[in-house]
Chains A and B, each alone.
With several copies, the nearest count.
Chain A
């Protein structure tokens, strides 16, 4: 099985082949001896190497529709593309040309909508203000374009990951 894996946006090729005692693991053409065990849901214990068998605890975190893994104190954004699902993955990868959704990065209350449908906005221009825990946060347009949809309503609560505005 071969996967295309993006770690913080950087692409790697990972081959995993089931063998008697676990997996044969080849990362970007380099064979890596791996001993892996799931010790709890979303927690993987890895021992890597033959001599100098380094022990790692890797934790998977899902937030909205993103996935991260923690290795020690460092958090990596990950995306795994299964070759069998490659077309779907490629199709869903947005690019700058299409419409972009501005999502709420945390739950909060919409205190101000600063744009109107049809309005032109610059990339980085403030479009929505959300308040949480008594602090206000101005959310910025993800790209230059025209506001095609506003779902946020002033005075209402939103959840993390809710779409607030679409810019096209």
Chain B
């Protein structure tokens, strides 16, 4: 069998670089790591077949430097580049440079990225493909009369937004017609002040939406499929924290409708390889196109576990020109998977990032548990990059089984030396709304605002006894010889040590 590629450069770091390298190893393809000055000892360098330094710690001087990465690809003789997520993964110019250098970019074409890169351009393409958007106007409102007409047509509450806007300026949430006129005037003058442009338009306000995304895959022969959805409503500071597949509220019919819409989005952009179409879903389960992510997502493992597919293998196969090895009707979802993103952040300090040296790591294993990690005990998590340490994914026959398996795995998981958000997941996974599948993008803020239930610390006595015993046993000399006699107990050594005092 001809190998798909000879050598793949992974233009990334952390868990995703390791995950791609594992796929390369499995497919008999050599892997090339690149690393910044602070990443020489990183796990992705240890796991690679070759490794090249690309400059200082700042990503702008290393992982974002297309020129350096292409230079390494040339030196190493790599015939493909996997960009992972983040960094250069959605950079059309980089994809174009790869093509020019004769190195296959494992992802969509630069053209497809550009079609999706700008929200307004994406919107035009998608409208043409009949993709649903949040109802409203695209252009500025000419009068209060028009505003009233549109608002009553789409239904209250509505959101007024500055056309030139961003950052919440010129935005107003309006609950009924009585408030519309003053809100419009306020929004227009704020927009004028902020952006020098008073144009304001209306969208239906989606209250407490769910964030649900559809995984799509397209080969280079015109075949495009959807691979189920992911529920990503549990977010903090617009960052996903927990994702699952399938969504607790999506049934077979809704899945098909969302999936077919997502496929139309991909086809309208001439999309190839893995991509994700994000939707907002309102409380009546209407879904609206939000944007397309033109790369592999962090949360792809939940889709892998439920579809039984390996998305990175598929990415590499499709990039090598192979057709998708299955048709839409052969894709089936079985069971349920939930992912927790383990971050280096301090739960006692508003989840502020907590880089530093990992002094200890006890990791979970066993039935239904997958861990994709980018770190190890002894590794110093640098201050320069994303705080994602690892992803812990639980699979089960049912959502409930996936949940309890994850809780069991969290019990087995300890990271010492730096702070992590492990305790957050213990709380989320036991939350009544979570258990009931009642999720929306406000879930996490509501949970955090609620009773913390004062971290359970029932074993202070045990802690006290253990603290004393650790102190006593520290005084026991380590054996010079690492082979310990079966019969020889810690106690005998302690007794001898005591005798010496």
Contacts and interface: CB of A to CB of B under 8 A. Distances in A.
B465 A55 contact: no
Contacts of A32: 461, 465
Contacts of A72: 411, 459
A39 interface: yes
Interface string B443-464: 0000000000001111111111
Contact of A8 (B48, B349, B457, B468): B457
Contacts of A134: 353
Given A38-B473, A52-B76, A46 B466 contact: yes
Given A55-B51, A74-B458, A159-B483, A106 B356 contact: yes
Contact of B498 (A18, A42, A43, A78): A18
Interface string A107-142: 111000000000000000000000111110100000
Interface stretch (A61-69, A90-98, A144-152): A61-69
A40 B361 CA distance: 12
Given A7-B460, A37-B490, A46-B462, A157 B468 contact: no
Interface in B373-418: 376-380, 383-387, 410-411, 414, 416-418
B461 A55 contact: no
Given A8-B457, A27-B465, A59-B414, A106 B354 contact: yes
Interface string B31-68: 00100000011000111111110000000000000000
Contacts of B457: 8, 74, 76
A34 to B, nearest CB: 6
A16 B473 CA distance: 11
B46 A55 contact: yes
A154 interface: no
A163 interface: no
B359 interface: yes
Given A18-B498, A44-B470, A69-B467, A109 B383 contact: yes
Nearest to A51: B75
B328 interface: no
A160 interface: yes
Nearest to A67: B467
Given A16-B468, A52-B76, A27 B461 contact: yes
Interface residues of A, number: 71
A129 to B, nearest CB: 12
Contacts of A47: 45, 51
B353 A135 contact: yes
A12 interface: yes
Contact of A80 (B387, B414, B471): B471
Nearest to A44: B466
B355 A132 contact: yes
Contacts of B485: 159
Contact of B46 (A57, A68, A82, A159): A57
Interface in B402-441: 410-411, 414, 416-419, 422-423, 426
Contacts of A73: 410-411, 422-423, 426, 456
Nearest to B482: A62
Given A3-B471, A40-B377, A132-B353, A14 B51 contact: no
A45 B489 CA distance: 13
Interface string A1-30: 101010110101010101001110101000
A18 to B, nearest CB: 5
Nearest to A109: B383
A150 B352 CA distance: 23
Contact of B491 (A21, A51, A76): A21
Contacts of B144: none
B46 A39 contact: yes
B463 A106 contact: no
A62 B359 contact: yes
B185 interface: no
A54 interface: yes
B407 to A, nearest CB: 10
Interface of A: 1, 3, 5, 7-8, 10, 12, 14, 16, 18, 21-23, 25, 27, 32, 34-40, 42-48, 51-64, 67-74, 76, 78, 80, 82, 105-109, 131-135, 137, 157, 159-161
Given A7-B464, A44-B466, 9 more contacts: A7-B460, A23-B491, A32-B461, A46-B462, A53-B51, A78-B467, A80-B471, A159-B356, A161-B483
25 contacts: A5-B464, A14-B464, A36-B469, A37-B490, A39-B46, A40-B378, A46-B469, A48-B462, A51-B75, A61-B359, A70-B414, A73-B411, A74-B459, A76-B457, A76-B460, A78-B463, A78-B464, A78-B467, A105-B354, A106-B356, A107-B356, A132-B353, A133-B353, A157-B383, A160-B356
Interface of B: 33, 40-41, 45-52, 75-77, 344, 346, 349, 352-356, 359-360, 362, 376-380, 383-387, 410-411, 414, 416-419, 422-423, 426, 455-473, 482-483, 485-487, 489-491, 494-495, 498
